Structures are given as C-alpha cells and as structure tokens.
Amino acid sequence: MRLSKIFTFSCLAISSVAFAQKELPYLQKKGTATQLMVDKKPFLILGGELGNSSASSFQDIERDFPKLQKMGLNTVLVPAYWDLIEPEEGKYDFSLIDKSIEQAKKNDLKVIFLWFGSYKNSMSCYAPLWFKRDYKKYPRAYSKAGKPLEIASSFSDNVLKADNKVFGELIKHIAKVDQDKTVIMVQVENEIGMLEGARDYSKEANAVFNAQVPETLIKFLVKNKKDLHPSLSEKWAKLGFKTKGNWQEIFGDDLYTDELFTAYSYGLYVEKLAKTARSIYNLPLYINAAMNSRNRQPGEYPAGGPLAHLIDIWHASAPSIDILAPDLYDGDFVSWSAKYRLHNNPLFVPEIKMTQNNGVQVFYAFGEHDAIGYSPFSIENNSETGSKRLADAYSKLKQLMPLLTKYQGQGASKGLLFDQKSSERIINYDDLKITARHYFSLPWDPRSKDGSVWPEGGGLILRIAKDEYIVAGSGIVVEFEKESEKKVIQAKDLGEDGFAAQGGKEKTQSVWNGGARAGIGPVDEIRLDENGKFIYIRRLNGDQTHQGRHVRIGVDDFQILHIKLYEYK
C-alpha cells in the first residue's frame, strides 16, 4: 500500500514537472520577423479555418478534424459561438469547445479559437437571443437616417460588459482544460466594422464624436508622427496637424474621418476584451479585417475594422492586440499581403478564399514576408483535388519549418508568385542575379500555349550560403547569372527539344566582357527530417536542368531543391 502511494506520488510529480515545462505560446522578435513560439520552438501555422457553422455540431467536429489532419494541417481555426456558449444569461456550455480541443489533440492539431461575440462580419448575429431581445439594455448602433441596425453599439457599457464577461469565462475555461497547450492563439471578435455607414449615429456616439479627440490618441500620433501610415499622415496634415478639437476639426468632414472615429471606438472596445484575456491566460491575440476592396467606400465595406490604413488608430486604442490580420478574397495576393507586412505588424492570413492556388500562395507568404501563418476558409469543404494539392504544399513546408524559422528576419528568403500577367521576378544577392519565372514561360508543356488559364506558380528561394540555395514550391523556373555577365550568343525562342527554334526571334545581343560566369553545380531533390537535416531523394541533371541552364519545378508538383552554384571564366 505504501509503495503504491509512493508510486502514485512519483507519477504526479513527474506529471507536474511536465506540465510546468509546457509554456504558453508567445510571440518573439527575430531580426525583422515576428515568430510564434509553441513548445519553445518557432511554429509556422499551416492552417485551415472551419466554415461558420461547422463547429456547432459534435458530429461535424468528429467528422472533419481527422480529414484536416490528413490534409496536412497543423492548426485548425475554430469558431467559438456566444449564442451556444451562453444560451441563457449567466449559464455557460463549453461542450463544443471541449470537443474541439479533444479532437485536435487526437489528430495532432493545434487550435486557434475565433470569438464570435458581439461582432461577426460587423453584425451581432452570434449574440444570444436574450441579449438581442433586450435592446433597451443592449442598444443597437443607428444609421444616419436613425434606423436601428443589427449591430450592437460599441458605446454601450452594458454591451461591453456582457460580451467581456462571457469572453472572460471562455478564456478561463480554456486555461482550465487545455493543459497540453493545444490552443495557441485567440481571435477577438470577427471582421468588426460598421456597415450602412462609416459610423454609429446613436445619441451616445454623436456625443463622443462631437467632443474633443482623446488626448491619449493625440499623444500617440504626435509621438509616432514620422512613422504613421501615409494615408493617416496626409489626412492629419491637411488641417495643419492640429492637436485640439473634435474629430472633424482635426481630421476633416468626410467619410474617412467617420471611419477613424469608428476604428478608435472599436479599438477601445476590443482592448477591454484583450486585457481581460491577458489577465487570465496570456495567449497571443489577433483581430481580423474584411478588406476595403473593389473601390468601395467606408460603410460599403466594414468601416473602422483593423485595416492597414487604420493600423495606427488600432495600435493607439488596442495595444494588447498583437496582430492585425487580413481576410483575403479578392485575388492579387502579392499586393494585399504586402499591405499587412509592415514594420509594426507581422503577416498572418487567418482567412483566405479556398482555391487551387492556396499551396503556392503559402510558400510565397513565408518566403517573402516571414509570415506567421496561412489559413484557407471553409477548409473542411475542400475538393479532393484541392485537398491533395494543399496537403502536398503543407507537407513540404512542415519539412522546411526548422530551416525557414532559422533564417527568418535575416533577409535570406524571397517569395515567388506568378500568373500570366506577372510571370517574372528578378532577385539580387551581392553580385548574383536570379531570374525566376512561371513554369509555363517554357514552351514544353502544351498547356502553356493552348489558351488555358495558367495556374499560379510560386515558391520561395532561401539563401543558406554564398553559393548555396533552397528553391521550393510549384510551377517555377529559376536561372542564375552574375550581374556583370554578358551572354555570348544571341538567345532565341526555344523549341520543344530545348534548343533554339529554327528562325526563332532573337531576344538579346551582347558582347562578352571577360567576367566570371555563374554555373549550376549539383541540383538535388531533397526532403528534410524534423531537425532540418537534408535527406537526399534524387539528383536532377541533364534534361531536368536544361543541361545546367536552370532549375525548375513543374506546375503539378511541389518539390524542395538544394542547389550549389560555382563560378568560372
């Protein structure tokens, strides 16, 4: 009996030590990058977000999570619904939260919970019925015409208290049940912002709008004047960088001043929730934004959300939020991602339209922007073909994770993303010129010239030594040459055999200057083990490198290539 007690005590002690060693996930700076640390290691989110209603059913959760694990995800983004957590005021049901954590652990997935509280795509559709019915206690925002909206007013203390209370209970519950640290981040609200107008016209909101702009905001703007987003700096400058006055007196009388006001009020609201979460369980926090795209005006898109041009207002009003993150549905991933990879904001794409191109986009995000993560929306509904392609991409990125995170923040990597309109990028490292193109810039695949829409090709280039590179992704061709190099021959259009086509159009004409040339040495297709060690698969040469002229990866495959260069005269 005594031995049994000793054994039990020993097991408990070991368990306690193991638990103590499990640190909460956190964010840390590494050079110019921000890294998410999970179990004390840098972690890249290879994610997928569930559809809005897919975490409201035990059966759906049990069905979908194994599918996501097979798809290669390491993280699933899961809605947490206020109306189902608190169907009666003060009575909480966290069974769906528990089921999500349980299934995530079972399928080796991490979880990011998305708080669908007072605001989801601007509206208050996930607030419980008891809250919605009592509109006198929990008032709505109003349009300029005086119409009550299905949007709870952020100027109501009662709205904030009710939302903050249940959100705090959710965070307490996660802290209590998630001893294995399966939950790695929390999203506060969802695509918050005003619709039908750029601001709330309730009596309470009007009073604040016509009062002095808060001194705390003015002090923030003055302190950060040189680093403000250009759109805010220009707007403030038009009236002479005033520091006293109401919103219109300082920023002007237009929709965009209304939007600044809305952003600040929503930021203050979100900050209260964020501070509550941090006081209970200090997980990284972010907030997502619906885009101001398609030439829409504030109020036609959710005005005042955590958009790139409002980043300073959000930083001033909600400093406890770690990341402002874009939800991307309008294409042009290169431009949109660049708007959110700022000196004061890391790139995390928590929601993006699910397409066949997701795999190459995620390579680009990590290569170009040292991204924290990427997550297609409605991931459980991916097609069989789409699931396989995303799984192929995620599989290669899981292998690359130790290597990518080692070099993050050092300017060692570049992203590639090509289509028919934008099919080439030139990259320079010291005296080396790297020309990368879409795979279909070669004539050898019939799809390149048969009128088909080119799938996006993309990937990353990582410099690991002066003459040593990793090229990874799908649908790319990469050439290497010295900056001073002049081609000896006139390059002509290539035929299907890779030689110059008879009568092909001349592209260049130059004279050799006697400098060194860059040569491609061994090109190996590799995989990496969990520690980032290279494991040889095959040597690529001859036809696979166009006899040493380039390296390439076809549009139907994802590969990791290890290239060594040399120079000669």
Query: What CATH number corresponds to the domain at position 534?
Result: 2.60.220.20
> Is 18 within a domain?
no
Q: For residues 401 and 500, state if they share a domain.
A: no
Q: For residues 335 and 209, state if they share a domain.
A: yes
Q: For residues 398 and 423, state if they share a domain.
A: no
Over the range 416-437, which residues count as b (16 or more CB within 10 Å of their CB) and which as e? bbbbeeebebeeebeebbbebb
Q: For residues 555 and 521, state if they share a domain.
A: yes
> Is 199 within a domain?
yes
Domain boundary among 409, 438, 461: 409
| Range(s) of the domain holding residue 356 | 26-218+254-409
> Is 504 within a domain?
yes
Domain boundary among 364, 386, 409: 409
Tokens representing residue 113 in the block:
């919970």
pLDDT tens, N- to C-terminus, the chain (569 residues): 333 333 333 444 434 334 445 799 999 999 999 999 999 999 999 999 999 999 999 999 999 999 999 999 999 999 999 999 999 999 999 999 999 999 999 999 999 999 999 999 999 999 999 999 999 999 999 999 999 999 999 999 999 999 999 999 999 999 999 999 999 999 999 999 999 999 999 999 999 999 999 999 999 999 999 999 999 999 999 999 999 999 999 999 999 999 999 999 999 999 999 999 999 999 999 999 999 999 999 999 999 999 999 999 999 999 999 999 999 999 999 999 999 999 999 999 999 999 999 999 999 999 999 999 999 999 999 999 999 999 999 999 999 999 999 999 999 999 999 999 999 999 999 999 999 999 999 988 889 988 889 999 999 999 999 999 999 999 999 999 998 775 544 445 555 555 666 655 555 555 677 788 999 999 999 999 999 999 999 999 999 999 999 999 999 999 999 999 999 98
Q: For residues 404 and 457, state if they share a domain.
A: no
Q: What is the pLDDT of residue 502?
A: 60
> Is 20 within a domain?
no
Centre a 10 Å sphere on the Cβ of residue 439 and count the other Cβ atoms it contains. Answer: 25
Q: For residues 429 and 479, state if they share a domain.
A: yes
Residue 67, φ and ψ in degrees, nearest 5: -65, -40
Residue 448 to residues 358, 444, 543, Cα–Cα distance (Å): 20, 8, 19
| Number of folded domains that form the chain | 2
Identify the H or E element spanning 48.
Answer: strand 45-49
> Is 243 within a domain?
no
Residue 215 to residues 28, 247, 316, 317, Cα–Cα distance (Å): 30, 12, 11, 12
> Is 427 within a domain?
yes
Q: For residues 563 and 445, state if they share a domain.
A: yes
Q: For residues 376 and 484, state if they share a domain.
A: no
134 Cβ neighbours under 8 A, 6+ residues apart: none
Q: What is the pLDDT of residue 3?
A: 34
Distance (Å, whole) CA 551 – CA 561: 8
Distance (Å, whole) CA 445 – CA 494: 12
Q: For residues 329 and 475, state if they share a domain.
A: no
Q: For residues 360 and 430, state if they share a domain.
A: no
Distance (Å, whole) CA 144 – CA 202: 9
Tokens representing residue 218 in the block:
């003015």
> Is 245 within a domain?
no
The CATH number for 111's domain is 3.20.20.80
Q: Are 480 and 434 in contact (CB under 8 A)?
A: yes
Task: Identify the CA nearest to 482 among candidates 413, 438, 424, 430.
Answer: 430
Centre a 10 Å sphere on the Cβ of residue 185 and count the other Cβ atoms it contains. Answer: 26
> Is 535 within a domain?
yes
Q: For residues 202 and 296, state if they share a domain.
A: yes
Residue 453 to residues 440, 457, 513, 533, Cα–Cα distance (Å): 11, 12, 41, 38
Q: For residues 278 and 303, state if they share a domain.
A: yes
Domain boundary among 409, 429, 451: 409
Q: What is the pLDDT of residue 504?
A: 55
Cα Rg of the chain, angstroms = 27
Distance (Å, whole) CA 325 – CA 323: 6
